[in-house]
Homo-oligomer: A and B are copies of this chain.
């Protein structure tokens, strides 16, 4: 019934993912094509230097340094170069020429997504990006399609493999942050410059994408609150486990409605948080990713799998290529990204959550009462206080005795907590505030 045609596929980028995608198209293109009802023809792979040595089976004649010419006449363009330029310009050229585009470029989407989606909508083309979040884990399609008739309330995502690997090493192997990072680098889970991962930039880009999709609202990257894991110490991780938690770097997307406080909007944020040990996210070890979604009707859902390796990302990219090919076979314009809900993007100060605060305090009568009063004055109510006397260096040197307090709060407004912490740091009975971690997933 369906007319058989040949779909021309261009791959931009000859790195790990690009090579995998090209290899798979060469090896399995016929099988995929027979299922779709169209031929899938790899017309070329654009690389920076066609003569560079490479570990791939892509025939030499498919390599080209001329990405622009390759795009012309392609039905599907797969962008796997990464970075903002020339990826942005090439994707716009591809869309404007009527090609569907598949990309894994989260940095580009998080910063220039609206421009790209608009260009696609203008010409009725489609921009696919399943591989941009969670490697091979299907999360974009479930959010966009499967949950389209539901209302997402919250997403808690472990979306960065490097930081999960590091925190997991600290938790399960007792390594310090520095040791765990060294292990991650040695095993290839961290890049030479790990800043994008450990400072939460990568997770923030993914949070922006997930929140935009879940809440049908454009979430600019610079409105995603971001804290990395560099401040997390082995002591934090140990204290967390003792209290029944594990520390995870979470990308959190949340619909917040609090009529009493005149708060109505969405929050996208990234920070290390305490997750209860019996929460499904607590069991996500190593460099794996998982996205926990709470929707009004569906209830809690979790999507789990390997983070972004070359071959896993290639799986997601190829799924998108097949979707694009099916769309070419059946015809019709693409589905526009829907951002018409246009909700307010809330600052971190509007967020409500629980906290665990670690303090070094003077070990003298009345301290607990003074600290409890200080919390209460700022509208933060306490749930647990655990005190342990420490034989600190100061004490051994003859200074006043000190104690460690670990305080768990009830739900509190971020702004109130910030004011509390500020007051704690200037209190005469507090030596130092050594840890402030939020608790999520309760």
Contact = CB atoms under 8 A, between A and B. Distances in A.
Contact of A334 (B283, B297, B330): B330
Nearest to A148: B322
Contacts of A298: 135-136, 305-306, 312, 315-316
A299 interface: yes
A301 B295 contact: no
Contact of A148 (B37, B121, B318): B318
B340 A335 contact: no
Interface in A295-341: 295-306, 309, 311-312, 314-323, 326-327, 330-336, 338, 340-341
A371 interface: no
B334 A311 contact: no
A2 B338 CA distance: 13
B137 A301 contact: yes
Contact of A311 (B24, B297, B305, B336): B297
A304 B326 CA distance: 28
Interface stretch (A50-58, A138-146, A173-181, A251-259): A138-146
A122 to B, nearest CB: 8
A138 B301 contact: yes
A376 interface: no
Number of copies: 2
A125 to B, nearest CB: 12
Given A141-B142, A145-B323, A150-B319, A136 B301 contact: yes
B306 A304 contact: no
A315 B295 CA distance: 9
A27 to B, nearest CB: 11
Contact of A35 (B216, B326, B334): B216
Given A330-B334, A330-B335, A331-B331, A149 B321 contact: yes
Contacts of A309: 299
A174 to B, nearest CB: 19
A195 interface: no
A147 interface: yes
Contact of A312 (B151, B299, B322): B299
Given A136-B299, A138-B138, 14 more contacts: A24-B297, A136-B295, A136-B298, A138-B146, A141-B146, A146-B319, A148-B322, A150-B319, A295-B315, A298-B315, A299-B309, A330-B334, A330-B335, A332-B332
Closest 7 interchain pairs by CB? A149-B318, A136-B298, A138-B146, A332-B332, A148-B322, A297-B315, A138-B142
